[in-house]
Amino acid sequence: MEKTWNNKAWFFVTPVLVLVAISAVIPLMTVVNYAFQDTFGNNAFFWAGTSWFEEVLTSERFHSALVRNLIFSGIILAIEVPLGILVALAMPRKGFWVPVCLVLMALPLLIPWNVVGTIWQVFARTDIGLLGATVSGLGIDYNYVQNPLDAWITVVVMDVWHWTSLVVLLCYAGLVSIPDAYYQAAKIDGASRWAVFRYIQLPKMGRVLLIAVLLRFMDSFMIYTEPFVVTGGGPGNSTTFLSIDLVKLAIGQFNLGEAAAMSLIYFLIILTLSYVFYTVMTNVGVEKPQKGGDA
């Protein structure tokens, strides 16, 4: 069918463009401007060239926070994606328990981030928290305030508790959209449970899994509130992720130029990794068109 061209459609796009400009483009431009200058307040700025970028790029503190953040995102994806798929596969497709499961799954997503942090801060305490007291009662030396490994385990488990539901709900949406005919055909062919998962369910979940991986990567890479409330970035700097470090730099030390440079590098890393994820996941198994086209 011939595509209908109507330039009046641009008017419908205008509000979105204005919103994106105000909420994203203009602040980003301001950050770029700040990244090349130094300020001591009072709207007085001094040209600093690329010195803030050089400072951030050679900063041991930035490297450590970046590595911590990459490890954290890797752990989160390695746990939440397979776990989310497993839970989604185990959920009922029909009957009374469907809405019950869906509501239970949605509950952690409805809790504000700082409340999640507060819940886990109390929950993991060895004196009054159910988890902390139980683990200590079992004779395990657990103290997330003093031990970096315990702090990491607490932050990871908290994130898994908070966000696996999102992966579950997305995968579940993908699973219920598979027509029964596919399962019937697999049954006739005598396909195993694994074959059904590998050749029917997993490909059909591809798109939603892409969204789940992207959302979880971006969220975990930008994580701030929950670990800040639970550990405050400690013990030492062991759970100081990039966003926590950035806030310390910008607000704690009022070093706006360096914080702006760090924000831009942080933004570029997220943008690149998200683009790579998106490109790889949308091109896996896609038939290649013919070569050609102009530059």
Partner 1 sequence: MIDLSWMAWTWPTAIFFVVIFSMIALMGVWEYVSPGGAPRVGIFRFETTRGDRLFVSLLGSAFICLGWLYFTDLSLWYALIVCAAFFILVFKTV
Binding site for partner 1 (CB under 8 A): 26, 29-30, 32-34, 36-37, 39, 43, 45, 47, 50, 53-54, 57-58, 265, 268, 271-272, 275, 279, 283, 286, 288-295
Half-sphere exposure of 291 (CA within 13 A, CB side): 0
How far, CA to CA in Å, does 140 sit from each of 133, 135, 246?
Answer: 10, 6, 34
Q: Is the dihedral of CA 264, 268, 271, 274 positive or negative?
A: negative
Closest contact distance (angstroms) between CB of 268 and partner 1 is 5
Q: Rounded to 5, what percent of the chain is helix, strand, coil?
A: 70, 0, 25
Pairing of strands 45-47, 37-39: antiparallel
For residue 33, the minimal CB distance to partner 1 (Å) is 4
> Positive or negative CA dihedral for 84, 86, 91, 94?
positive
Tell me the C-alpha to C-alpha distance, in Å, between residue 34 and each of 25, 62, 133, 246, 257: 14, 19, 47, 14, 5
Of residues 103 and 276, the one with the C-beta less far from partner 1: 276
Closest CB to partner 1 among residues 27, 92: 27
Q: How far is the CB of 51 from partner 1 (least distance, A)?
A: 9
Closest CA to 149 of 137, 163, 161, 135: 135
Rank residues 59 and 238 by Cβ distance to partner 1 and give the closer one.
Answer: 59
- Cβ proximity to partner 1: between 5 and 96 the closer is 5
* Residues contacting 147, CB < 8 A, separation 6+: 141, 235
* Nearer of residues 57 and 100 to partner 1, judged by Cβ: 57
Nearest distance in Å: CB 267, partner 1 = 10
Nearer CB in complex with partner 1: 192/283: 283
Q: How far is the CB of 29 from partner 1 (least distance, A)?
A: 6
Smallest distance from partner 1 to CB 27, Å: 9
